[in-house]
């Protein structure tokens, strides 16, 4: 058992880490579309201005993504927060496995290809249809199709989940039209290939944390059973839905099924092979369970085809969901929670359903369950199943009530909490609602600040990535992009902006050192502070030396 080294002759503190999900940081003066700066935040603005605060990286290479043009997300952000190091993450792992062909040389890929060839059955691809590189990438899909064709697959059906969340909100046709040309070339070479079904990612299939199984049921009926509104092509479906409701954005488009001669062209049948090509786990687990569990009970599948199903990755390594997968996820060992459990440090984690897995599963290195249930308390506040801009406060107040009660009980040394509002409301593209969400968060932080001062707890406030900081699509000059009617085009995706990291110690004992000579230590080099430094700071405050391969603490002791 690897142990931490205790610091000698230092104060051992209790620590509360607050993650304001999706709350990035842009300098004052850049107000257009910035719900963080536009909101009235007397508490947060006072802390960011008056307490030790630095901007840290939460995207790109700083969280294991392929390049600094790649947005961060909650999953990789919480992986890094929880382990103090940087691991190659989903997008990069998949890209590498395609480039070195290990994906195609793997046992599961060969099994699915052989299954379809031997049974003269269909190979299906299902997943998010964009290049957002947060859940999936269209280039991965295209390469797998090309390789499958070269290995003898003659019939392929594709089930597309429209994005408009990690990419511009009405960009579906920008991906669809070139892709249809790509398919036409394959058809000309004798392949029977077509898009068979689809719909918006927040309408069908991609639910997470069991918040709304009806989404998965609608996806099942669409992709597997071929039930739903039928169209001759995906393009005609998208255009028809937009004509019916000009305000609808891609992520909320209804489900559709492609037909020929009155029949769906791509139902999923016994002996077919199915690849769910999303690499990110949270919104892939439930549909994977529907395809693989014999005793599935969350909705009536009507028909349960016996397929060879594989995920791009294994989305839950402890629950083995799905059993078959193409690319091995990062094996994250020696997380901060595991170290603290080994030292008998009691920990408390809380969030609402939408982000509960982030302060538990992702925080603990993609591991379900507890390291030691006697030392860890996990609290989930059930999320409402409604559009988040209809109730932008979400469950922030309830979370704060529960957390303050836990602090009063004084049973834990390290507390962590995720507030989902900045991300989940930010994803709706609704600027006024996101401003309201930020103002609710400010009230909650005020309550936590006072409680931490009362109890002598060091309060750390940060975020896992940006979102609410850019609610409008901006041009190269920083001006909002307008649609054909002169309206501002909302931005629903994450951002490339840094996030604030703020240290609040009522006794004024600590500061933060951003000396770049410190940043290059650890398992991965970095030129600026990032999320990977926070685990070291937490351990430092708790009285431990961070492990040598963790990114270093930036804590300065003033007294």
Q: Is residue 519 over pLDDT 60?
A: no
Predicted confidence (pLDDT) per residue in 531-551, tens digit: 999 999 999 999 999 999 999
Catalytic residue, candidates 74, 97, 121, 130: 74
Q: How far apart are CA 67 and CA 439, in angstroms?
A: 33
Portions of the chain given CATH number 3.40.1450.10: 91-327
Q: Given pLDDT bands bounded at 50, 70 and 90, which one contains residue 473? A: confident
Q: Is residue 29 over pLDDT 70?
A: no
Distance of CA 393 to the CA centre of its chain: 20
- φ, ψ of residue 394 to 5 degrees: the values are 45, -130
Query: What b/e string do you get for 94-121 counting C-beta neighbours within 10 Å, with b at 16 or more?
Result: bbebbeeeebbebebbeebbebbbeeeb
Region at 251 (left for phi over 0; alpha for psi -120 to 50; beta for the rest): alpha
Q: How far apart are CA 342 and CA 345, in angstroms?
A: 8
Q: Given pLDDT bands bounded at 50, 70 and 90, which one contains residue 3? A: confident
- Tokens read off for 231: 């169209």
Residues 33, 471: contact at Cβ < 8 Å? Answer: yes
Half-sphere exposure of 142 (CA within 13 A, CB side): 17
CA-derived radius of gyration, the chain: 24
Pairing of strands 123-128, 273-276: parallel
Strand partners, 512: 555
Does the domain at 22-43+346-557 match CATH 3.40.720.10? Answer given as yes
Pairing of strands 192-200, 256-260: antiparallel
Predicted confidence (pLDDT) per residue in 411-428, tens digit: 999 999 999 999 999 999
Q: How far apart are CA 400 and CA 402, in angstroms?
A: 5
Residues 349, 363: contact at Cβ < 8 Å? Answer: yes
Q: How far apart are CA 396 and CA 374, in angstroms?
A: 27
Q: How far apart are the first and last CA of the chain?
A: 33
Which has the minimum average pLDDT: 19-23, 136-140, 389-393, 480-484?
Answer: 480-484
- Tokens read off for 225: 């059973």
Q: Which residue has the tokens 């936590």?
A: 448
Predicted confidence (pLDDT) per residue in 326-357, tens digit: 998 777 999 999 999 999 999 999 999 999 99
Predicted confidence (pLDDT) per residue in 113-164, tens digit: 999 999 999 999 999 999 999 899 999 999 999 999 999 999 999 999 999 9
* Number of other residues whose CB lies within 10 A of the CB of residue 28: 8
Q: How far apart are CA 286 and CA 53, in angstroms?
A: 39
- Tokens read off for 144: 């797998």
Residues 54, 516: contact at Cβ < 8 Å? Answer: no
The pLDDT assigned to 2 comes to 67
Closest alpha carbon to 108 in 257, 313, 272, 288: 313
Q: Is residue 435 over pLDDT 50?
A: yes
Which has the minimum average pLDDT: 55-59, 74-78, 478-482?
Answer: 478-482
The pLDDT assigned to 523 comes to 42
The pLDDT assigned to 485 comes to 77
The pLDDT assigned to 316 comes to 75
The pLDDT assigned to 522 comes to 43
347 class by beta-carbon count within 10 Å (0-12 exposed, 13-18 middle, 19+ buried): buried
Q: How far apart are CA 160 and CA 143, in angstroms?
A: 16
Q: What percent of the chain has pLDDT over 90?
A: 81
The dotted CATH code for 91-327 is 3.40.1450.10
Q: How far apart are CA 180 and CA 368, in angstroms?
A: 40
Q: Which residue has the tokens 């992520």?
A: 251
Portions of the chain given CATH number 3.40.720.10: 22-43+346-557
Cis amide prior to 322 (ω within 30 degrees): yes
The pLDDT assigned to 493 comes to 83
Kindly state the average pLDDT of the residues 512-534: 68
Q: What are the strands, taking DSSP E only, across 63-217? A: 123-128, 155-162, 192-200
Q: Given pLDDT bands bounded at 50, 70 and 90, which one contains residue 31? A: low
Is 446 strand, coil or helix? helix
Predicted confidence (pLDDT) per residue in 240-287, tens digit: 999 999 999 999 999 999 999 999 999 999 999 999 999 988 899 999
Q: Given pLDDT bands bounded at 50, 70 and 90, which one contains residue 520? A: very low
Kindly state the average pLDDT of the residues 158-179: 96
Kindly state the average pLDDT of the residues 480-484: 77
Is 248 strand, coil or helix? coil
The pLDDT assigned to 517 comes to 45
Distance of CA 407 to the CA centre of its chain: 28
Q: What are the strands, taking DSSP E only, across 405-498? A: 414-419, 458-462
The pLDDT assigned to 180 comes to 98
Is-catalytic flag, 74?
A: yes
Q: What is the 3-state secondary structure (H, E, C) of 146-197?
A: HHHHHCCCCEEEEEEEECCCCCCCCCHHHHHHHHHHHHHHHHHCCCEEEEEE
The pLDDT assigned to 211 comes to 87
Kindly state the average pLDDT of the residues 189-196: 96
Q: In 462-523, where does DSSP find H-type helix?
A: 516-519
Number of H helices, E strands in the chain: 18, 20
Kindly state the average pLDDT of the residues 103-116: 98
Find the helix or strand (DSSP H, E) in which 20 lies: strand 15-20
DSSP 28: T
Mean confidence (pLDDT) of the chain: 93
- φ, ψ of residue 490 to 5 degrees: the values are -65, 155
Predicted confidence (pLDDT) per residue in 46-68, tens digit: 999 999 999 999 999 999 987 88
Q: How far apart are CA 275 and CA 281, in angstroms?
A: 14
Query: What b/e string do you get for 520-538 counting C-beta neighbours within 10 Å, with b at 16 or more?
Result: ebbebebeebbbbbbbbbb
For the whole model, what pTM was predicted? Answer: 0.77
Q: How far apart are CA 267 and CA 224, in angstroms?
A: 5
The pLDDT assigned to 69 comes to 82
């Amino acid at each position: 058992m690897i142990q931490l080294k205790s610091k000698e002759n230092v104060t051992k503190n209790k620590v509360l880490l607050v993650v304001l999900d999706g709350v990035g940081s842009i300098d004052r003066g850049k107000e257009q579309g910035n719900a963080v700066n536009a909101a009235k935040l007397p508490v947060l603005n006072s802390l960011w201005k008056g307490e030790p605060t630095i901007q840290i990286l939460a995207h790109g290479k700083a969280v294991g993504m392929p390049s600094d043009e790649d947005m961060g997300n909650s999953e990789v952000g919480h992986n890094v927060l929880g382990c103090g190091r940087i691991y190659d993450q989903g997008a990069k792992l998949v890209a590498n496995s395609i480039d070195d062909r290990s994906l195609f040389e793997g046992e599961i890929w060969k099994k699915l290809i052989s299954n379809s060839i031997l049974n003269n059955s269909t190979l299906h691809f299902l997943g998010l249809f964009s290049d957002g590189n947060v859940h999936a990438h269209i280039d991965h899909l295209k390469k797998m199709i090309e390789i499958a064709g070269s290995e003898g697959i003659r019939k392929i059906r594709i089930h597309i989940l429209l994005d408009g969340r990690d990419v511009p909100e009405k960009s579906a046709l920008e991906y669809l039209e070139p892709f249809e040309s790509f398919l036409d070339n394959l058809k000309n070479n004798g392949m029977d290939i077509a898009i068979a079904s689809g719909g918006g990612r927040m309408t069908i299939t991609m639910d997470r944390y069991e918040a709304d199984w009806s989404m998965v049921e609608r996806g099942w009926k669409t992709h597997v059973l071929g039930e739903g509104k039928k169209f001759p092509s995906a393009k005609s479906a998208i255009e028809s839905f937009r004509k019916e409701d000009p305000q609808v954005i891609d992520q909320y488009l209804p489900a559709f099924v492609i037909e020929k001669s009155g029949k769906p062209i791509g139902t999923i049948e016994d002996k077919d092979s199915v690849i769910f090509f999303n690499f990110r786990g949270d919104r892939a687990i439930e549909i994977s369970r529907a395809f693989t569990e014999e005793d599935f009970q969350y909705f009536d599948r009507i028909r349960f085809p016996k397929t060879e199903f594989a995920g791009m990755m294994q989305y839950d390594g402890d629950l083995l969901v799905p059993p078959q997968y193409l690319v091995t996820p990062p094996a994250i060992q020696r997380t901060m929670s595991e170290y603290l459990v080994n030292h008998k440090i009691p920990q408390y984690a809380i969030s609402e359903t939408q982000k509960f897995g982030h302060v538990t599963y992702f925080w603990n290195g993609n591991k379900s369950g507890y390291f030691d249930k006697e030392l860890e308390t996990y609290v989930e506040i059930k999320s409402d199943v409604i559009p988040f801009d209809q109730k932008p406060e979400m469950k922030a107040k309830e979370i704060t009530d529960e957390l303050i009660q836990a602090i009063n009980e004084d049973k834990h040394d390290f507390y962590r909490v995720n507030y989902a509002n900045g991300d989940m409301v930010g994803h709706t593209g609704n600027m006024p609602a996101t401003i309201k969400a930020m103002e609710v968060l400010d009230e909650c932080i005020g309550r936590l600040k006072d409680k931490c001062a009362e109890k002598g707890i060091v309060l750390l406030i940060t975020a896992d990535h940006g979102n609410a900081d850019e609610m409008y699509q901006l041009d190269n000059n920083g001006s909002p992009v307008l649609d054909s009617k002169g309206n501002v085009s909302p931005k629903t995706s994450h951002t490339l902006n840094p996030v604030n990291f703020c240290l609040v110690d009522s006794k004024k004992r600590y500061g933060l050192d951003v000396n770049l000579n410190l940043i290059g230590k650890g398992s991965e080099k970095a030129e600026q502070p990032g999320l990977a430094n926070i685990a070291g700071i937490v351990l430092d405050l708790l009285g431990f030396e961070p492990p040598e391969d963790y990114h270093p603490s930036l804590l300065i002791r003033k007294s």
